[in-house]
Amino acid sequence: MTFLSRILPIRSARIALQVFLAAALGPSVATAQQGAALPIGGELKLWQKLTFDFSGPETSESATPNPFTDYRLDVTFTHAASGKTFVVPGYYAADGNAANTSASSGNRWRAHFAPEEVGSWSYSVSFRVGPLVAVNSDPAAGVSAGFFDGQTGTFQIGPSDKSGRDFRGKGRLEYVGKHHLRFAGTGKYFMKAGVDSPENLLAYADIDGDFKTDGNKDNLIKTWSPHVADWQEGDPLWQGSTGKGLIGALNYLAAEGLNAVSFLTMNINGDDRNVFPYTTYSERFRLDVSRLDQWEIVFEHGTRKGLYLHFKTQETENEGLLDGGDLGNQRKLYYRELIARFSHHLALNWNLGEESRATLARKVA
């Protein structure tokens, strides 16, 4: 092999990366540096959900570069007194209010954090760009995306003021080597008692997406109309008056003394086929931002009502759907997005293999 034949592939790869970065970053990184952190959303109190928003590149669910795979937002949080450090993945949030606007484009990037210590916290931001950087675990993968990359900040956390069923007054549920989980805040054990059905809880007519009309078991879409009457004044909604049925259903469960609810987050090829995070039934690398934001409204209400969130992330009918059942880019992105958007909730579990028929070798691979 000649020197020229060896160097041409390297040069081609470099040119391809330069073209990619030009599309991602625009005319100059200097222009991109205008991105900024926005005011922290949420109550600055122990166990409360905090939202960190950043103004970044204008893009969309269908754009190239893909905002879900080709950008990576991570925020590192450090507690000054204890030294505890958490690296939290972030995500693309369209216009920052997609649950209400149904936006599929915008320049908002977001991360959530629920602090477990009072006192002073600091944060630092990593925002990288490059092909499939979101599913690359190397902190140095890709290059700086400019905008808010490298930004830092501090904030103060006070004690929680929540009580009753609200998990925000109890703390995160932790495994402590016992048969039951225990609240980190109160030290009390949790006895799970709740329904394990319907799995298609989120196959709801008031949630955004064409899953309701895509020809995949559309007859199974739920309205939760019997529970509209259980919605209470002051409860959350989206898009004005939408969501009363499902929010009311959670109220009903809590009123009956239950403390858990379960649901599938993907049932493509399953019994229902109406619940998935993607823009379309056949998509695997682009997420429906407004749909996931509406899920978050439901989950947040569940946390406030003292309902443990049982995430069933796949079922036996689709355990081989992503990457043929292996751990590849599709599966890595799927779990990264779920974790980024929902892992701040205080009482949840990730069910990775409901009714799984996968071999032991595949499960531990």
Outline where DSSP puts E strands in 19-176: 36-37, 50-60, 71-79, 85-89, 91-92, 105-113, 119-129, 143-144, 152-157, 173-174
Q: At what angle do helices 289-304 and 329-342 cross, to 10 degrees?
A: 50
DSSP 145-191: --TTTT-EEEEEEB-----TT-GGGT--EE--SSSS-EETTT--B--
Length of the chain: 365
- Cβ contact 109:92 at 8 Å: yes
Q: How far apart are CA 30 and CA 93, in angstroms?
A: 23
Q: How does DSSP assign 176-241, residue by residue? A: -SSSS-EETTT--B----B----TTTT-BTTS-SGGGSSSSSGGG-B--GGGGGG--TT---BTTT
- pLDDT tens-digit map of 341-355: 999 999 999 998 878
Candidates 2.60.40.1930, 2.40.50.140, 2.60.40.10, 1.20.950.20; correct CATH number of 29-157?
Answer: 2.60.40.10
pLDDT in tens, the chain (365 residues): 443 344 444 444 554 555 566 566 554 333 334 567 899 999 999 999 999 999 999 999 999 999 999 999 999 999 999 999 999 999 999 999 999 999 999 999 999 999 999 999 999 999 999 999 999 999 999 999 999 999 999 999 999 999 999 999 999 999 999 999 999 999 999 999 998 889 999 999 999 999 999 999 999 999 999 999 999 999 999 999 999 999 999 999 999 999 999 999 999 999 999 999 999 999 999 999 999 999 999 999 999 999 999 999 999 999 999 999 999 999 999 999 999 999 999 999 999 887 888 777 776 66
Residue of 208, 292, 205, 304 whose CA lies nearest to 251: 304
In the chain, CATH 2.60.40.10 covers 29-157
